Amino acid sequence: MSNTLMNYVHIEPVTVPIKGEGAFMEVRSLGFPLNPSSVSWYYAIRKAQVVEQEGVSISVPGEVVLEGNLHMDRPTYDLWSTDDNYVFDWAAQELSLTIIDDPA
């Protein structure tokens, strides 16, 4: 998936009342216990912030508009191998979000 920026992916814009519009989803592990029954993940939905980089305007993750924790059960965790996109896809499904390619 070419739209990953470290711990972030672009998502179809989602409006969070009072907070604004989120365009990025961040997902980070809160730790990996030995022989887990579940694994906890932090997520944040972030606004897009436009910055200049080498004379080009690009969109990067900005202010958090929504955040929380998700819990992945053992059977789901066991299906994860070395492709971290699995975690992004799982989190997006749990949050009813759609991952999109980098906007042009």
Domain assignment of residue 68, yes or no: yes
Reported as a single tens digit per residue, the pLDDT across 63-99 is 999 999 999 999 998 898 888 899 999 999 999 999 9
Give me the domain span that covers residue 46: 4-94
Distance CA 97, CA 9 (A): 11
Predicted confidence at residue 36, as pLDDT, reads 76
Angle (nearest 5°) at CA 98 between 67 and 10? 70
Residue 6, pLDDT above cutoff 50: yes
Query: Which is nearest to 39 in space by CA: 84, 89, 87?
Result: 87
The stretches of the chain forming alpha helices (DSSP H) are 74-79, 85-94
Q: Which two tokens stand for residue 27?
A: 């997902």
Q: Which two tokens stand for residue 38?
A: 């579940």
Domain assignment of residue 18, yes or no: yes
Domain assignment of residue 30, yes or no: yes
14 or 59: which carries more pLDDT confidence? 14
Report the number of distinct structural domains present in the chain: 1
